[in-house]
């Protein structure tokens, strides 16, 4: 059988939607489609906003098992986000069109969200709260349109998985930041914040201002040294964020990136960005209604970009950034290795 290249053949409800928007997917993998890639799943990398929310709600493993049981995928109903996975190729559909041949047994990481990936879990072995990763036994399928990457030989797999989870961030920043810009990184100490800070500095930003919630959270960013200045403020306190940024940058910034994993950070970024500036919301906790109406409410003319996890060559570009920045690589290996 041949399935739809975007995976609509796996949508149970509501019909007519794509897999990401679906309430429930078909994760019965006794059904074979000749244009699917089947993966034996070993590890889930849960996105930061989703993991933090589940930790606050109780037993993370139980919540994941229940979500996958009822939805056929790991799609957090509160945050709307998922993550990605690592596993071993189990079956390559004979009609699957691939630019790079893949053989059964090769280890790969997915570069598409778990919110659109049909998944079944036999069991959860353990939960790694520090890395936001979960060791599992299960299966998943990728569609023709789904991106994936081989694991690099020069990085621990847990490090590569963590980097791939946010691979779209730094390449997008690199192509949007212009030399001489003032740049704000909200959440500069997290993995996407560190990558974006490094990308902004390498792109020629004149001033990179980082915001973190505590000195402890900012430690990695201070060690990296990509930010010219780091201020401590609650991302949800828009006035405090704006005041800190204005003092550090000598005015509003040209470009802001929101990498935080908590809600209500939209207005801090908006207040800190000049009219005509751009905000890149690379955060699954962003509520775009709040952002749009909030900018309108303070009469701020800013371009707001939805954080797209995909950019051409994003996985390779992110690995190249880690290799080019020894301190950044060392921080990732220490945190996620």
**Helix (H), strand (E), coil (C) string for 307-330:** CCCCCCCHHHHHHHHHHHCHHHHH
Cα 52 to Cα 125, 212, 234, 241: the distances in Å are: 20, 16, 16, 22
Q: Which is nearest to 132 in space by CA: 64, 185, 199?
A: 64
- The C-alpha angle 125, 129, 133, rounded to 5 degrees, equals 60
Q: Give the pLDDT confidence score for residue 268 in this predicted structure.
A: 96
> What order of strands is seen across the sheet that includes strand 207-212?
229-232, 207-212, 182-186, 253-258, 273-281, 303-306
CA-CA distances (angstroms) from residue 245 to 97, 98, 228?
48, 46, 12
Query: What per-residue confidence (pLDDT) applies to 192?
Result: 94
Determine if the pTM surpasses 0.85: yes
Residue pair 230/194 in contact (Cβ under 8 Å)? The answer is no
Q: What is the pLDDT of residue 310?
A: 86
Fold observed for domain 169-331: Rossmann fold (3.40.50)
DSSP codes of every residue in 31-72: S--TT-EEEEEEEEEE-HHHHHHHHHHS-HHHHHHHHHHHHS
pLDDT > 70: what percent of the chain? 100
pLDDT score of 284 = 79
Task: Identify the pLDDT of residue 283.
Answer: 83
State the pLDDT confidence band at 261, using cuts at 50, 70 and 90: confident
Q: CA–CA separation, 74 vs 134, rounded Å?
A: 12
pLDDT score of 294 more than 90: yes
Inter-residue contact 28 to 117 (CB < 8 Å): no
- 66-79 residue pLDDT tens: 999 999 999 999 99
Report the range of poorest mean pLDDT among 1-10, 93-102, 231-240: 93-102
Say whether pLDDT at 299 is over 90. yes
> pLDDT at residue 307 above 90?
no
- Report the pLDDT averaged over residues 283-293: 89
Mean pLDDT score, 209-219: 96
Calculate mean pLDDT across residues 53-75. Answer: 97
User: Tens digits of per-residue pLDDT, 86-139?
Assistant: 999 999 999 988 777 888 999 999 999 999 999 999 999 999 999 999 999 999
In the block, residue with structure tokens 């691979």: 167
For the beta carbon of residue 298, count every other beta carbon within 10 angstroms. Answer: 11
Residue 77 backbone dihedrals phi, psi, to 5 degrees: -75, -15
Domain boundaries, the chain: 8-151, 169-331
What is the predicted pLDDT for the residue at 97?
81
């Amino acid at each position: 059988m041949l399935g739809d290249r975007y995976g609509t053949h796996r949508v149970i409800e509501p019909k007519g939607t794509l897999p990401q928007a679906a309430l429930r997917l078909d994760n019965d993998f006794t059904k074979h489609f000749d244009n699917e890639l089947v993966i034996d799943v070993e590890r889930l990398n849960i996105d930061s906003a989703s993991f933090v929310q589940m930790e606050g709600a109780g037993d993370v493993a139980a919540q994941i098992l229940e979500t996958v049981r009822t939805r056929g995928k790991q799609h957090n109903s509160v945050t709307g986000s998922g993550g990605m996975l690592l596993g071993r190729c189990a079956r390559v559909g004979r009609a699957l069109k691939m630019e790079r041949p893949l053989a059964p047994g090769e280890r790969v990481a997915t570069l598409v969200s778990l919110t659109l990936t049909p998944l079944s879990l036999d069991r959860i072995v353990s939960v790694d709260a520090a890395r936001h990763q979960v060791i599992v036994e299960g299966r998943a399928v990728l569609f023709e349109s789904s991106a994936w990457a081989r694991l690099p030989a020069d990085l621990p797999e847990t490090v590569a998985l963590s980097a791939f989870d946010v691979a779209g961030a730094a390449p997008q920043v690199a192509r949007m930041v212009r030399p001489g810009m003032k740049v704000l990184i909200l959440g500069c100490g997290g993995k996407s914040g560190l990558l974006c800070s490094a990308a902004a500095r390498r792109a020629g930003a004149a001033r990179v201002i980082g915001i973190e919630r505590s000195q402890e959270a900012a430690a990695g960013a201070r060690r990296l040294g990509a930010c010219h200045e780091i201020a401590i403020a609650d991302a949800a306190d828009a006035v405090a964020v704006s005041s800190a940024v204005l003092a550090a940058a000598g005015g509003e910034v040209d470009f802001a990136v929101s990498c935080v994993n908590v809600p209500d950070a939209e207005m801090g970024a908006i207040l800190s960005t000049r009219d005509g500036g751009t905000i890149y919301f690379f955060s699954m906790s962003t509520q775009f209604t709040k952002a749009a109406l909030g900018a309108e409410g303070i009469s701020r003319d800013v371009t707001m970009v939805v954080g797209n996890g995909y950019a051409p060559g994003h996985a390779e570009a992110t690995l190249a950034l880690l290799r080019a920045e020894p301190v950044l690589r060392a921080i990732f290996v220490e945190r996620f290795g």
